[in-house]
Structure 1
């Protein structure tokens, strides 16, 4: 089996329209598909709306609004969970200004060596990172993979349990 790519990631949302306003109106990801689910495959009655926001590569960010299912929404720490989306550097700066102008929680611009990033919170508490590559600091894939494997080995050696 060969994985072809990401089709979608799915997350819970509090309110589909508030989620749409953030992802479509603010970020510019078009609402491309919606699916109403009234019964599970096991025959349980439910009431769920599944919405899909399309990215330029054809993959989707998707959300489930399930009012009859309990879910603990909480503000996520960046290290716990975040959704990172790639943009061009000019767009990164424009979105930073747009977020600030709208009075949104807007953090950054963070220099992560090979990328620069900014951060927002969506209406569900998820951290959304917009990231732009710094081409002159971005190694080729083989070099990056070799460096990643070395860093992981060093990490494991330093944190090995005896």
Structure 2
């Protein structure tokens, strides 16, 4: 009963409406554009030239945004005069997962092979089928397609998310 009432009030209790953008540094804005726009098909929606970072550092920068179909964006900053260490992350450490349909997944795999872009997969996960690429900056980009059982697997009413997390924590404390 209480859970149903909370569900009805969700819009007022959870102020976050959704993802506007996720932003990372990039080595070269044009190389990044070519990957996200030409290869993945995300249109370049906005380019902002600035002379100061959000933190107030005086430096030239370019902030670029690629629009996804749901209205959210992937964004990148090129700051040529500010040092940044680009390190290749393991997919389990850091990646972004973008949802695509099954036909788009096949088309992108064919396109990747045609242009010689390496990828891993498809990997069959609990509720997803995924392939993994590295963009020109070394970031891992996962393209994923939902399986039929996705909504059931992701439903906290059915999947015991809290119980599994609590058991994990207890096991860590026991083995420590």
Give the alignment's TM-score, normalised by structure 2. Answer: 0.84
1:6-155 equivalent positions in 2, closer than 5 A: 6-40=19-53, 44-136=57-149, 138-139=151-152, 141-143=155-157, 146-155=159-168
**Is 18-27 or 83-92 further displaced after alignment?**
83-92
Relative to structure 1, is the Cα distance of residues 113 and 124 closer, same or farther in structure 2, using a 3 angstrom cutoff? same
Moved beyond 6 Å, runs of 4+: none
Comparing both chains, which one has the higher relative contact order based on Cα–Cα distances under 8 Å and sequence gaps of 6 or more?
Answer: 1
Structure 2 residue aligned with 1:5: 18
RMSD: 1.8
Contact 2:53 2:61 in 1 (8 A): no
Relative to structure 1, is the Cα distance of residues 67 and 88 closer, same or farther in structure 2, using a 3 angstrom cutoff? same
* Matched residue SS, 1:160: helix
Relative to structure 1, is the Cα distance of residues 115 and 44 closer, same or farther in structure 2, using a 3 angstrom cutoff? closer
Distance 2:142 2:38 in 1: 17
> Where do 5+ consecutive residues of structure 1 fail to align?
none
Determine which structure has the larger helix proportion and give its number: 2
Structure 2 residue aligned with 1:158: 171
Relative to structure 1, is the Cα distance of residues 141 and 26 closer, same or farther in structure 2, using a 3 angstrom cutoff? same
How many pairs were matched up? 161
